[in-house]
Amino acid sequence: MNYTPYSSNKKGNSVFYIIIIIALALIAIVAFIGLSNMNKDDMTDKPKDNISDNLENSQNNSEEYNSNDSSYNNSDNNSSNIISDIIPDTPKDNMPNITPSTPTNDDVKNEPYQKSYTMPISGDILKDFSDTALQFSQTYGDMRLHPAVDIACKEGTLIGALTNGKVISVEESATLGNVLTIDHGDGLIVKYAAIKDSKVKAGDTVKSGDLIGALGTIPCECNDQSHLHIEATENGKPISVLKFFN
């Protein structure tokens, strides 16, 4: 083949373009490598700096809290002051006594006492209490007041105390026979007539229902059916013992 000047020029231009393309490719490769290295440095160096900074900050913070900083100590003092305001520091000697107290004899005496009452005997009421209306007397054959309660029962029947009390006297009476008088407290005085074989004496204390003796005979009502004659006064005023049994 024969080369002409045109073909030679064309060949020279092709070589020139190839060299430029290769140069540009090298420049692009170098630039890419440089950018890659820069990104690696950013990915590695910066986090290390941040981690080290965070560690330094945490150490500094811990040193601040562990130090005898006045502001930190003041916060503790303030919190303790608030707690002491809510729960005052009471000396041990001044602490209230929460041990349950044992009642004393005085406390027992001051407690209200509920009395219990027992019918001295069981039987029918022959004569009820009457301090205003007259009632007929079989023994005297006339009408008269009867400030007592007569309860029918056989001679020898055991008699019990109406309620708690103290024996005042055991005396013989011409009209009522052997009379046993008991102070039952609260101004209540009761005479039990007629009692034989008395089981108590003056000064003795009795409880409700305690045996005080047996039924005898009563001279002023000897013609009436056998019965227990009970006279009672409350603060000096005659009353019926049946009031305690509704």
One domain for residues 141 and 218: yes
The residue segments making up the domain with residue 42 are 5-80
One domain for residues 218 and 141: yes
Question: Considering 56, 80, 104, which residue would you say is the last residue of a domain?
Answer: 80
Strands 237-239 and 130-137: unpaired
Give CA–CA dist 70/2, Å, rounded. Answer: 102
One domain for residues 60 and 130: no
pLDDT, position 113: 55
Assigned domain for 129 exists: yes
pLDDT, position 163: 97
- Taking CA atoms, 83 is separated from 32, 70, 73, 75, 142, in Å, by 68, 20, 16, 12, 91
pLDDT, position 16: 78
One domain for residues 170 and 239: yes
One domain for residues 63 and 139: no
One domain for residues 72 and 9: yes
Question: Considering 24, 49, 80, which residue would you say is the last residue of a domain?
Answer: 80
One domain for residues 75 and 135: no
Q: What are all long-range contacts of 182-188, with beta carbons under 8 Å and residues at least 24 apart?
A: 182/206, 182/212, 185/115, 186/115, 186/234, 187/234, 187/235, 187/236, 188/163, 188/232, 188/233, 188/234
One domain for residues 60 and 166: no
pTM of the predicted model as reported, rounded to 2 decimal places:
0.55
One domain for residues 61 and 132: no
pLDDT tens for the chain, 246 residues long, are 444 444 455 556 677 778 888 888 888 887 778 776 665 555 554 444 454 555 455 455 545 444 444 444 444 555 445 444 544 554 455 444 544 445 455 554 555 557 899 999 999 999 999 999 999 999 889 999 999 999 999 999 999 999 999 999 999 999 999 999 999 999 999 999 999 999 999 999 999 999 999 999 999 999 999 999 999 999 999 999 999 997
Angle at 157 between CA 169 and CA 233, to 5 degrees: 40
Assigned domain for 102 exists: no
One domain for residues 241 and 130: yes
Q: Which candidate, 118, 121, 115, places its Cα nearest to that of 193?
A: 121
Q: First CA to last CA across the chain, in angstroms?
A: 161
Assigned domain for 95 exists: no
Question: Considering 61, 80, 99, which residue would you say is the last residue of a domain?
Answer: 80
| Total domains present in the chain | 2
Assigned domain for 105 exists: no
- Taking CA atoms, 195 is separated from 159, 177, 207, 233, in Å, by 8, 8, 18, 19
Can you give the CATH number for the domain in which 220 is found? 2.70.70.10
pLDDT, position 14: 73
Give CA–CA dist 8/168, Å, rounded. Answer: 168
Tallying the residues shown for the chain, one arrives at 246
Q: Is 17 exposed, middle or buried (0-12, 13-18, 19+ CB in 10 A)?
A: exposed
pLDDT, position 57: 53
Assigned domain for 117 exists: no
Q: Record the tokens describing residue 231, joined without a space.
A: 């006279």
Assigned domain for 35 exists: yes
One domain for residues 239 and 145: yes
Give CA–CA dist 25/20, Å, rounded. Answer: 9
Assigned domain for 192 exists: yes
Assigned domain for 224 exists: yes
